[in-house]
Structure 1
């Protein structure tokens, strides 16, 4: 159990629908003094997100400490202790960090490799003395890597792939690669793993599973797709994460699943397909990592989360350099 304790803290989260709507109530149940749930003005149904968030808060009998708003006045950001990165809050920009107190903590609510480049200005956070915390997805109380593998297998099933004896090339540069390979082998698939599309061998694949980190440009680009078209024209491309140049795929006559392009930075299937538990473990884990950072508790290693600071590669984040290599092995 993560034993979340946000006693007396002011926490900013996103108002949402689905299982993510519990975030505000979870923070309040952990004794946060005040929880502000921001709606996204461009969201198709902002009232639905507001209603769902407040419904959970009322059910948990914490509605008096949960406020739904579409913005926070500039001067009130100075009262915030923890702010979660989410679409509703928007990018953690330099202008936002300048409004936060130096003791504030930004919770990524994900490991850095899951995030689209540029959504958090790590340099600005470092300069302001603001800690950035990420949950350790391998922590036993969070344990999301096997769930990602299950989700990926479900996506293959939706694509009509018979995983028994299928020749599958996994193109993956995330920590999911090993467990995804293991799970598919157990289901009878013949697997080869490649860390980048440029390393893909010229074999006749049945399926090419793309499970890459988010990036500004799709790693599965026109050059990679041209090679696939020459050698594996009948292969089905399955997009779990990372980008595929779908215009180029269409030009070469390649089949891509899912038919509709996932939103930028989103998975081919949402995590909540697997039920409430994985999503809730992620949300609570993200809040717990922020709590630990706020209270200067031990982070890194096998703990619930780790601190993240700016790295030299644009749009990428790395564990804080004041931790030893063993403590920051999550990346």
Structure 2
């Protein structure tokens, strides 16, 4: 099944709005990013709309779309944004592409930025992470190699008022609960999290009539009688539900009969839960430091705003004006 752009015309408008409100100006800069499908088709088009000298985009066949379909979506979005076909799309990941770029994003088809890749990059080039600093994954980017090569790395403040992207985490949790058959109002939900995701989700659930409890660790007493447990501990590496976890799949079945487990971020024994009759959403195993569903599950705006903000971070770092800009609070040091 191909991941489609949900509303092409609206997505084009969101791109124009984001470029305007962030005063994104990539003139004179070459950007290397990915060409992807669905809401993630936006990134190279944002760069082109912001006047980048060149936009290089890597793509490939994936479970979401073929490379040909990605190219079609990119061209359609360019056209709706009133752009000529400026995005240069490549179906192979050549080191020469990295050597050309001033800004290299850390997105799917561009990753991993390992030592071999980083050593091909220009000294003084920038990697803007499309996430906050605490969400950094070492397997995606070799920070030490960046330091040795003189490549600057900054993360993006998702709470910056012009975008307020991190707040969508709470809305995503609500949507996932609805999809799992939980009515929200007057439902009892346990959120297990020791990080920012949990705090934001807890606040959004409370504002919508949920009887919510946020904890760092689960036990049988905590889950007893709950309608749902949301796993939302992005930074936690061990299994939260499973034989070696806080509680077992059998515990969940016994102490919260009919309840559901929402895998927002965090590891669980999904197969064991299913074998014990527990509904899991989404119903797949997650590695540590991964979200079950991304903010794109809500629509295009969170992706557009976050990726435009990340490109703004790249712009500021390339031009060396991060300390003197009204947008300096967008940047987070690594």
Give the structure-2-normalised TM-score.
0.82
1:124 Cα deviation after fit: 1.4
Is the alpha carbon distance of 1:295 and 1:185 closer, same or farther for their aligned partners in structure 2, counting shifts above 3 Å? same
1:78 Cα deviation after fit: 2.0
Secondary structure, counterpart of 1:168 in structure 2: strand
Question: Which range moved further: 207-216 or 161-170?
Answer: 207-216
Match of 1:46 among 62, 67, 75: 67
Secondary structure, counterpart of 1:145 in structure 2: coil
- The alignment yields a C-alpha RMSD, in angstroms, of 2.7
1:91 Cα deviation after fit: 0.8
Alignment of 1:147-166 (within 5 A): 147-166=168-187
Secondary structure, counterpart of 1:303 in structure 2: helix
String of CA shifts for 1:257-285, please: whole Å, max 9, x gaps.
Answer: 23345698654444234332222111101
String of CA shifts for 1:83-135, please: whole Å, max 9, x gaps.
Answer: 11111112111110010011111122112444555111112112222111211
CA distance in 2: counterparts of 1:200 and 1:101, whole angstroms:
55
Question: Would you say how many aligned residue pairs link Structure 1 and Structure 2?
Answer: 308
Secondary structure, counterpart of 2:214 in structure 1: strand
Contact 1:15 1:38 (C-alpha < 8 Å) held by counterparts? yes
1:221 Cα deviation after fit: 3.4
Alignment of 1:225-304 (within 5 A): 225-226=247-248, 227-229=251-253, 231-261=255-285, 267-298=291-322, 303-304=329-330
Question: Which range moved further: 81-90 or 17-26?
Answer: 17-26
Q: Hey, what does 1:313 align to over in structure 2?
A: none
The answer to whether structure 1 residue 224 and structure 2 residue 246 are counterparts is yes
Q: Hey, what does 1:34 align to over in structure 2?
A: 54
Match of 2:141 among 109, 120, 123: 120
Contact 1:117 1:215 (C-alpha < 8 Å) held by counterparts? no
CA distance in 2: counterparts of 1:36 and 1:174, whole angstroms:
35
Q: Hey, what does 1:89 align to over in structure 2?
A: 110
Secondary structure, counterpart of 1:239 in structure 2: strand
Is the alpha carbon distance of 1:119 and 1:74 closer, same or farther for their aligned partners in structure 2, counting shifts above 3 Å? closer
The answer to whether structure 1 residue 305 and structure 2 residue 326 are counterparts is no
Secondary structure, counterpart of 2:315 in structure 1: helix
